[in-house]
Amino acid sequence: WLFSISFCLCYAAFCPYHIGHFSIVGLGFEEYVQASHFEGLITTIVGYVLLAVTLIVCHGLAALVKFQRSRRLLGVCYIVVKVSLLVVVEIGVFPLICGWWLDICSLEMFDATLKDRELSFQSAPGTTMFLHWLVGMVYVFYFASFILLLREVLRPGVLWFLRNLNDPDFNPVQEMIHLPIYRHLRRFILSVIVFGSIVLLMLWLPIRIIKYLLPNFLPYNVMLYSDAPVSELSLELLLLQVVLPALLEQGHTRQWLKGLVRAWTVTAGYLLDLHSYLLGDQEENENNANQQPNNQHGRNNNAIPVVGEGLHAAHQAILQQGGPVGFQPYRRPLKFPLRIFLLIVFMCITLLIASLICLTLPVFAGRWLMSFWTGAAKIHELYTAACGLYVCWLTIRAVTVLVAWMPQGRRVIFQKVKEWSLMIMKTLIVAILLAGVVPLLLGLLFELVIVAPLRVPLDQTPLFYPWQDWALGVLHAKIIAAITLMGPQWWLKTVIEQVYANGIRNIDLHFIIRKLAAPVISVLLLSLCVPYVIASGVVPLLGVTAEMQNLVQRRIYPFLLMVVVLMGILSFQVRQFKRLYEHIKNDKYLVGQRLVNYERKSGKQGTSTAPPQSSQE
């Protein structure tokens, strides 16, 4: 076992690093590598590349002299190195390139320069590279998610040039093994061009247009510390715990986006006579619907036309490696290449307009709303954009609900408004209790138990900030709720699961107050009040000194927490010992168990006619 670990470490890290180090020193590139601040990583990658080239040469020589076993072993080693390099390129290098390109194209939006980025990289190279990689990874992820949404709308076969990640037959590791290096290099260059062009279209060009049309709108305020009277930590927690989860967890947002894409596709299809190409013919869809159960191996989004329909047919045939694939035919109009070109131009214009709206409207709304709260003080633009985005989402949601209610008549609308008003009132009451009182008490208790004893000396008076205590309490409440839901079954987990199951529309105010809010608030109030009463009311009656009173007041909360934790551990151990005792006793002395009918005692002295059933002994 130790030998295997040592061999893997030697093969995966030691040998490539020293091969790359000797090569870099021999070529005289040592100074350039050291200036990159990532000497170890670059040296190891160079070693992997040289090791792969060496394995290719040795594999060719082994094939030339007909050493089959050596050739097979060298081939396996080359495949391992090749797959490792391709994984590093696709997961590490490509998102990093996208992140840096996004940063470069958005410099004017934040009133920054390349010199600022260079200074930031020199001061913290690891953090800078990680943040750019993370931004690029998020960009790639959302781009792939949008492509998956497009596949649900467009006709199967339109996106033949993009890999379908939902295809069960798609195996990226198998592609890395079978496809040659030049194919991967060509795909990598094409991906960089496509992703980079989209960044130029949806980020750099809209920024230039905004600066020309609205000179005072940019740059965004992204200072690290705000001069507003509101804590940055509190705003960040509000954003992460309230605003963004409410947006991301709603299924309506994806349905709206899908509806917009479908409406745009229908409009573009009828304007350019490409409806059959983009969405397919409805009549043929109905005719083919009965044949789909007999063709389960057909893949919707990898569908291709018949052989001879173009380059995409051969491309998909290579990727699918044989086997019939279901497809949906389409009608090819006149001047088809010109119409496709106009479709691409129309798509670029639409993406540009959408990017302009997304970069301006939420920030405008957020700045306007934040001005009522913070006045003329500047707020981090991330918070204003999140606030404006949330308000826009609520407005769109309210409009869609009203439009859905309009055909039902005025009486139904009034009834719905009455129901929703009652539901909103109940939700506000629950929010005040569970999102206001409980986090405030929890944050204050955490401040008294953990923060104040560690940060404030005994000769100083601790200061408490209710706003920050509440914000930290929100985070603690979410963590406690998550741990409770993952833990064993007890009353708090049962109540939380019941509240989640009911949802907002079926909210039970009486159940929440009686089973959840009242017990939790009572426990928190007792945890806050009982130690204070003991320290301020009972201890002075004992005639102790002022220093001892101050010590008791400041240390009673962590002391009682330690006592409660110790009692909990002892109680748990006692229950475990009892279970162990019962288990040993049953294994040693238990002969069998018998199931007996339960008979309720009544005036009639009757016996049950059913014989008892014995369990397995």
pLDDT, one tens digit per residue, over 100-154 is 999 999 888 888 888 888 888 888 888 888 888 888 988 998 888 888 888 888 8
* Contact criterion met (CB below 8 Å) for 528 and 445: yes
Q: Confidence class of residue 203 from pLDDT cuts 50, 70 and 90?
A: very high
With a cut of 60, say whether residue 392 has pLDDT above it: yes
With a cut of 90, say whether residue 348 has pLDDT above it: yes
- State residue 10's pLDDT score: 60
Q: What is the DSSP letter of 218?
A: P
| Residue linked to tokens 């930031």 | 120
* Contact criterion met (CB below 8 Å) for 319 and 171: no
Q: Confidence class of residue 322 from pLDDT cuts 50, 70 and 90?
A: very low
Q: Confidence class of residue 289 from pLDDT cuts 50, 70 and 90?
A: very low
Q: How far is CA 230 from CA 242, 435, 474, in A?
A: 17, 19, 16
- State residue 3's pLDDT score: 53
> How many CA atoms does the CB half-sphere of 418 hold within 13 Å?
6
- State residue 550's pLDDT score: 84
Q: In this structure, what token pair is assigned to residue 430?
A: 């629950």
Q: What is the DSSP letter of 171?
A: -
pLDDT, one tens digit per residue, over 211-267 is 989 888 888 877 644 444 344 445 555 555 555 555 555 556 778 888 889 999 999
Please list, residue by residue across 350-367, b when 16 or more beta carbons sit within 10 angstroms of its beta carbon and e when fewer do: eeeeebbeebbebbbbbb
* Burial grade of 188 (CB within 10 A; 0-12, 13-18, 19 or more): middle
pLDDT, one tens digit per residue, over 354-385 is 999 988 988 888 888 888 877 677 777 777 88
- State residue 351's pLDDT score: 92
> How open is the CA angle 394-396-397, to the nearest 5 degrees?
60
As a whole number, mean pLDDT of residues 483-506 equals 85
**pLDDT top residue among 340 and 84:** 340
User: Considering the chain, what is the average pLDDT of its residues?
Assistant: 78
With a cut of 50, say whether residue 346 has pLDDT above it: yes
Residue 238 Cα to chain centre, angstroms: 17
With a cut of 80, say whether residue 15 has pLDDT above it: no
The pLDDT > 70 percentage for the chain reads 82
- State residue 342's pLDDT score: 92
**pLDDT top residue among 475 and 184:** 184
- Residue 94 CB neighbours (<10 A): 19
| Residue linked to tokens 């917009």 | 260
pTM strictly above 0.75 = no
Radius of gyration (C-alpha) of the chain in whole angstroms: 34
As a whole number, mean pLDDT of residues 85-91 equals 85
**pLDDT top residue among 159 and 91:** 91
